[in-house]
């Protein structure tokens, strides 16, 4: 096994230095050495969506709901121009940051889940599920669930088919006795964020 940069050789260029086959070959070798040495490093965030105010309608790149009254709702969606293909043998982190979930008073026995999914050619696969408990019923609204929820996937052989990612919130145990509306907060000082990040080689 060769050591990183074992064949790397700095090339000095000065005014009048001749361009030779040897110099050009070393340039190619140096490029190859750099690529080999750094190819396993993380590439960082590939696609990113941020909400700084609550909205209640679907657009091309994301969804964030306020005044929710259903059992399942999409809260963030990376699609359209933000779809990505997955390189082979890489780790990808899919992450969602929530500043706050607020639910009205009088919600005994219900609880929430955050779910992160990917969709490829209309087939949706669950990547991560996170349970969030709520407190017993009281006379005031409850605030909970703030934080970052993330999962890491190994691409294996990779895929050139564009991938879409989404996050949903599920309200379990919702019935006539606990039917108050709930909302996800978003503000300039506390945005809701959803992103996909390359965190390095898996092989």
Residue by residue, DSSP assigns the chain as -PPTTTT-------TT----HHHHHHHHHHHHHHHHHHTTS--EEEEEEEESS---S--SS----SSB-SSEEEEEEE-GGG-EEE-TTEEEEEEEEES-EEE-S--TT-EEEEEEEEEETTEEEEEEEEEEE-PPP-SS-EEE--EEEEEEEE-TT-EEEEEEEEEEEEEET-STTS---EEE--BTTB-EEEEEEEEEE--
The pLDDT score that the predictor gives to residue 131 is 93
Compute the distance between CA of residue 160 and CA of residue 155 in angstroms, rounded to an integer: 11
pTM for the predicted model, two decimal places? 0.78
Which regions of the chain are under pLDDT 50?
A: 1-2, 58-61
* Parts of the chain belonging to CATH 2.60.120.40: 44-201
To the nearest 10°, report the CA torsion of 167, 202, 81, 184.
20
CATH architecture of 44-201: Sandwich (2.60)
Residues 5/33, Cβ–Cβ less than 8 Å: yes
Structure token digits, residue 52: 């700084």
């Amino acid at each position: 096994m060769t050591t990183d940069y074992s064949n790397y050789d700095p090339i000095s260029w000065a005014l009048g230095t001749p361009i030779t086959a040897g110099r050009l070959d070393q340039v190619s070798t140096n490029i190859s050495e750099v690529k080999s040495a750094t190819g396993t490093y993380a590439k960082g965030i590939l696609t990113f969506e941020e909400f700084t105010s609550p909205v209640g309608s679907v657009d091309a790149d994301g969804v964030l709901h306020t005044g929710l009254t259903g059992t399942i709702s999409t809260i963030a969606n990376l699609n359209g121009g933000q779809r990505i293909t997955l390189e082979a043998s890489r780790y990808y982190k899919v992450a969602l940051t929530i500043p706050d979930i607020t639910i009205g008073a009088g919600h005994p026995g219900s609880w929430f889940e955050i779910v992160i999914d990917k969709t490829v050619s209309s087939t949706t696969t669950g990547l991560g599920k996170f349970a969030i408990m709520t407190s017993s019923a009281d006379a005031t609204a409850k605030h909970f669930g703030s934080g970052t929820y993330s999962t890491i996937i190994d691409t294996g052989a990779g895929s050139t088919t564009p991938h879409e990612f989404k996050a949903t919130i599920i309200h379990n145990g919702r019935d006539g006795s606990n039917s108050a509306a709930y909302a996800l907060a978003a503000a300039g000082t506390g945005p809701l964020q959803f992103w996909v990040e390359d965190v390095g080689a898996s092989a």
